A and B are shown apart, each in its own frame.
Chain A
């Protein structure tokens, strides 16, 4: 297409009003309260007296157009033609009469969309793309998530957890999936394998040197060609050099492992927001269903479910019982790798005589 024929784009962000359910427009900023008549359903009441029922259902996130059209058919026939997506790829249908809720739920479930994800349940895993599309993935988050949600299906559909549970999965240490009550993240265990033939052609070497968090990369001449070398004693195997320099291959079918982190919390409710903490590493990247990862996620969740008090998020629960009890109750090993030695790491050490026996 030549510049002369080119269509000039229209830049600008749309006002979202035309995409809102009419009840949302009428009661914008005027809602009074909500309750949950059953798992997967929110019932909002406005100061005006208006009521709206919202049914939440899980999706596979990356949807074929047939799936989206099916959801639209359901929205048109059983709801009122409007939907919304949550940050965790759940879809929400809002209706202005309670009588429409049950048939809508029946239709969603008939078509394979589980209704749930509200209140103290396990919501859908927020995740990254993986092997389907990413240029640097160590695993396939989409597959890990599918297998995880299969195993947590009942926890999505019921509200039986102490408080809400938010999960994430990430295919590299950049952690696009985000902080979560339980996060499954790739943890590489070997330094990058460098294809010295390609470095000079593909990589801007000073940029790559600058990316390394521990200054382990330096320029080098290898076989007469400009390349890079890694001080493997210093390397922390984070993979930061790989995106700017693909010849520094960090992904390895065997040595790119999965680690599990717990206790991340975005909300300010009760405690301040927290980052998740490492509780186990070294799990195999066992496609297509990652049984080892799933078993541990489920074990942590069931321990939390059995032991935490109402309204305690994972972080609140561990804050009460203490980390030694967490490791004891879950049966996970506490190793030297959990002792933080990164900058500011001393803040994570116990500088007190507070000890639980």
Chain B
């Protein structure tokens, strides 16, 4: 039995209502732990005064430079003593989850055992960077808790100016839209950059996020410095039985309004079944005896919409791989940036393909490490030096897929035009 709990009238309000309550969870923990009794008191004080009271510091484990998020209380009496003395320290350990956040219950129970013993017993599944957040631990218990977690085979996530924990979607394990082995990319990238994850020495954070298709469930384009997004080059596949079944259920209005009209590049047309184009780049599928969908794969931008609506009836092609965008980030300092497409397509079938991807990542990170200013994200660096210079720096050739449109202002010196065209032509001829 723990000590007497504090009155928490404000937090109690968050026990009301049907959604699962983290406050109820904290109270369960507080029955056995003085530590959590004081965490609740600390949090209630925040609710009362509408301010936070944790400050950072330096707490780590042997051999690593990051991964523990230290927190020390700032609620103190006039003598400088912690008001909630059992919760004077509330550090978090970031642990990298299995790719796609898949677990067996045995693993989760072991996490519970370790964190019940050494920490608060509170675990966030998951933090916004993608880590398992083992929340709330004293300085003294960080190392022993970490030792136990590491003995399970788990490793620490990134924090500070480092490569961060890599995130990948549910992926090939349970999704028909998967265009490559997301977990394998996650595995390879993480293991290549372990040193940069564990010993922060970059100008600022660097995030990888991996989505198996353009639905981008990992928010990679918005949230990662290097977004790896599945796509395909050949024609979309179709299944006539499923297309007919879809049409029988949904009818022509939904086919027109929800599928054809919402295609962003107007690549889909409804045709008489007998008059569909026989062109090599056309996907045609009958939805009834008289009508068929005709999809122009040269105009299709692989956005996923029609496949999402008619899953199974329509599917990604077979020549799958990935696109890569670089430079996504949130607001600070120059405003939120989306990633920019720098590789329209690369195969990810063989080990060599995978190696090539990780090598490219290495080149990008090396360039970032050498050229970014302190606290400057990759996207901000590209904004400062220009995409063309960045591409030259990482050894990628320009491609018209990289722009929404060519430049609309004349402020550029094109004096080397002939040499540049000759160089591009020579490169094309050599390929």
Known: A19-B102, A240-B332. A59 touches B187 (CB 8 A): no
A339 within 8 A of B: no
Contact across chains for B104 and A81 when beta carbons are under 8 A apart: yes
Give the interface size bracket for B toward A. Answer: 35 or more
Majority secondary structure, A binding face = loop
Q: Least Cβ distance of A2 to chain B in Å? A: 10
Interface pick from B47-55, B272-280, B415-423: B47-55
A288 within 8 A of B: yes
Write the chain A residue with the least CB distance to B121: A65
Q: Which residues of A contact B216 (CB under 8 A)?
A: 266-268, 273
- Residues facing A in B125-155 (CB within 8 A) are 125-128, 130, 133, 135-136, 143, 146-147, 150, 153-155
Interface size on A, residues (CB 8 A): 121
Q: Least Cβ distance of B165 to chain A in Å? A: 9
Q: Least Cβ distance of A53 to chain B in Å? A: 11
B403 within 8 A of A: no
Q: Which residues of A contact B254 (CB under 8 A)?
A: 310
Bound Cα distance from A210 to B258, whole angstroms: 49
B270 within 8 A of A: no
Write the chain A residue with the least CB distance to B152: A14
Bound Cα distance from A54 to B46, whole angstroms: 39
Write the chain A residue with the least CB distance to B19: A149
B393 within 8 A of A: no
Q: Which residues of B contact A246 (CB under 8 A)?
A: 55
Contact pick for A82, options B22, B103, B181, CB 8 Å: B103
Contact across chains for B108 and A270 when beta carbons are under 8 A apart: no
Bound Cα distance from A16 to B191, whole angstroms: 13
Contact across chains for B56 and A343 when beta carbons are under 8 A apart: no
Contact across chains for B172 and A28 when beta carbons are under 8 A apart: yes
Interface pick from A31-39, A227-235, A295-303: A31-39
Contact across chains for B102 and A84 when beta carbons are under 8 A apart: yes
Contact across chains for B25 and A35 when beta carbons are under 8 A apart: no
Contact pick for B304, options A126, A178, A268, A309, CB 8 Å: A268
Write the chain A residue with the least CB distance to B179: A29
- Residues facing B in A74-96 (CB within 8 A) are 75-76, 81-87, 89, 91, 94
A40 within 8 A of B: no
Contact across chains for B46 and A267 when beta carbons are under 8 A apart: no
Q: Which residues of B contact A267 (CB under 8 A)?
A: 214-216, 304
Contact across chains for A62 and B264 when beta carbons are under 8 A apart: no
In the assembled complex, 17 residue pairs joining A and B whose CB atoms fall closer than 8 Å, in A order, are A6-B62, A16-B102, A16-B187, A29-B178, A62-B22, A63-B124, A64-B29, A68-B109, A68-B125, A85-B126, A89-B126, A114-B20, A133-B71, A175-B330, A179-B223, A268-B302, A310-B258
Instruction: Tell me the B residues contacting A by CB distance below 8 Å.
Output: 10-11, 13-14, 16-23, 25-26, 28-29, 39, 43, 46-47, 49-56, 61-64, 69, 71, 90, 92, 96-109, 111-112, 115-116, 121-128, 130, 133, 135-136, 143, 146-147, 150, 153-156, 167, 170, 172-176, 178, 181, 183, 186-187, 190-191, 194, 198, 214-223, 229, 242, 254, 257-258, 262-264, 301-305, 308-309, 311-312, 315, 330-336, 338, 374-375
List 14 additional contacts besides A62-B124, A268-B229; criterion CB under 8 Å: A9-B61, A13-B187, A16-B186, A18-B104, A20-B102, A68-B111, A82-B104, A133-B69, A178-B128, A264-B222, A269-B303, A271-B264, A311-B305, A343-B335
